Structure 1
């Protein structure tokens, strides 16, 4: 890893140890709030983002953090993604509902964007200690149990009936939700961990073939999209066929481990 990649990875491990894991399966009364219907935040989310923000900004001159919880408090901060200055996207606890329920499928996600282009990305899974890191044009890497391996998403099955995927349709307009949900019974297996950090890394590792999304908040999708692409995968809008970019805030997007898998699913969805 580069020096910057190592420094960010160290911060993610430290914030997990200080602010996140001590609260896992130990949340107290008053430490969970509902920001909007079905959208929860915990003290771990807020404290982890507050801890990370000044430390990330100190690593790159002139940079700013675009964090999920800061935007929840001040939606105007979302305009930072339009800036040409360096921007850190931060999801302090991705999979908050899983975290609240005591499930292990949650993660910390960080990416560095300049002028609308993702340069580097990190996804850390605190329970296992696994870390995915990617640099634009430099590949994606999986750090697990003291070992490091280059991520290769590989090739998906030739038959739609053998596809393994996650279908997130909650925010899709009716037309696309119906199209995508109609695919669920056509694929081999639905496997949704309700956590972008887990789903993106699963695609990059070849453990899942596809994932669908519509609401594309930068902190949820910028890190994983670079990691998947650098592992050989595809992240693309099913309606327009355009590649995902950090300033794109809505889908319907399809994440796939390779071109073939993307077309196998997207082409069927578009014909329905």
Structure 2
């Protein structure tokens, strides 16, 4: 892993220490706003993204930052995704609702995308102080308590009835919403922490085995998908079987711990 990994990881940790963790369980009412219905943003989200943006662009001259909060203010910034300009995806606080509620299930996520390919990824979970990093073709690692270890997705239950995962169908139109809902009786447990950073890393740990998504914003899925793939997992669109990339549009997409589980779930969904 290159110096870039350590440089970006250091920036993420500093942003967390400066702008995020001091406000965890300490937010005032005026520091919380609703961007849209049931879509919260806090001073921590905005300040962390503002702090990170120029520093990331300085690390890679000619690159741009595609930040969740900047796009909320100016949606035309999403056009960067279609270009060949290297860009950083930044989700300054993934799981803002959890952060506001004082739950530890939130994270900071950054991806580097070059010509449509996510080449590097960082997912930081501030409360347990765990940094997941991945490089295209170079594997996934976890840095925790000063130790670095390679990450490989553990084996999954042999039967679909033992698999646990997130069915994030709240943005899904019909008929997909009904098809995804029909999957629930056939799996072991429906689990959702409403935070991509935790859902994907839970798959890496074997705590969850899959997750279904429809709203495919690049800051949510570009870095996390790279972590998953480099650890042995799969992330594809259910109806076409096309691998997710940062230019992918809406779902339904399925992240799974391995090829076998992906196939079983996709087949089940498409049968309804």
Q: Is the 8 A contact 1:155 1:261 kept in 2?
A: no
Checking the alignment, whether the CA contact within 8 Å between 1:56 and 1:65 is kept in structure 2 is yes
TM-aligned CA deviation for residue 193 of structure 1: 1.0
2: CA distance between counterparts of 1:181 and 1:147? 40
**Structure 2 counterparts to residues 54-73 of structure 1, below 5 A:** 54-73=54-73
Cα drift, residue 29 of structure 1 = 2.1
RMSD between aligned alpha carbons?
0.8
Once the two structures are TM-superposed, the CA of residue 185 in structure 1 deviates from its matched residue by 2.0
- Render the CA deviation track for 1:193-246: whole Å, top value 9, x for unaligned: 110000111112222110000010000100000000000000000011100010
How far the C-alpha of 1:154 sits from its partner, in A, is 2.7
> After superposition, where does 1:88-103 map in structure 2 within 5 Å?
88-103=88-103
2:268 partner SS: helix
The 5-angstrom pairing of residues 109-258 of structure 1 reads 109-258=109-258
SS at match of 2:185: coil
- The offset of 1:2, in angstroms, is 1.4
Instruction: Compare 188-197 and 86-95 and name the one that shifted more.
Output: 188-197
**Alignment check: 8 A CA contact 1:154 1:258 kept:** no
Aligned-residue offset at 1:148: 1.4
Correspondence for 1:12:
12
SS at 2:29 equivalent: coil
Structure-to-structure mapping, 1:17-36, within 5 angstroms: 17-36=17-36
CA distance in 1, matches of 2:268, 2:191: 19
1:149 deviates by: 1.2
Structure 2 residue ranges without an equivalent (≥5): none
Give secondary structure in 2 for the equivalent of 1:119: strand
Equivalenced residue count is: 272
Q: Compare 173-182 and 58-67 and name the one that shifted more.
A: 173-182
Counterparts of 2:207 and 2:231, CA distance in 1:
13
SS at match of 2:254: strand
8 Å Cα contact 1:63/1:88 also seen in 2: yes
* 1:83 maps to 2:83: yes
Deviation at 1:5, TM superposition (A): 0.4
Further displaced range: 146-155 or 104-113: 146-155
Query: Is the contact between residue 218 and residue 249 of structure 1 (CA under 8 Å) also seen in structure 2?
Result: no
2:189 and 2:146 mapped to 1: Cα distance? 32
* Misfit runs of 4+, over 3 Å: none
> Hey, what's the Cα distance between the residues in 2 that align with 1:83 and 1:208?
34
For residues 260 and 202 of structure 1, the distance between their equivalents in structure 2, rounded to whole angstroms, comes to 18
Q: Report if the CA contact (8 A) 1:153-1:204 is conserved.
A: yes
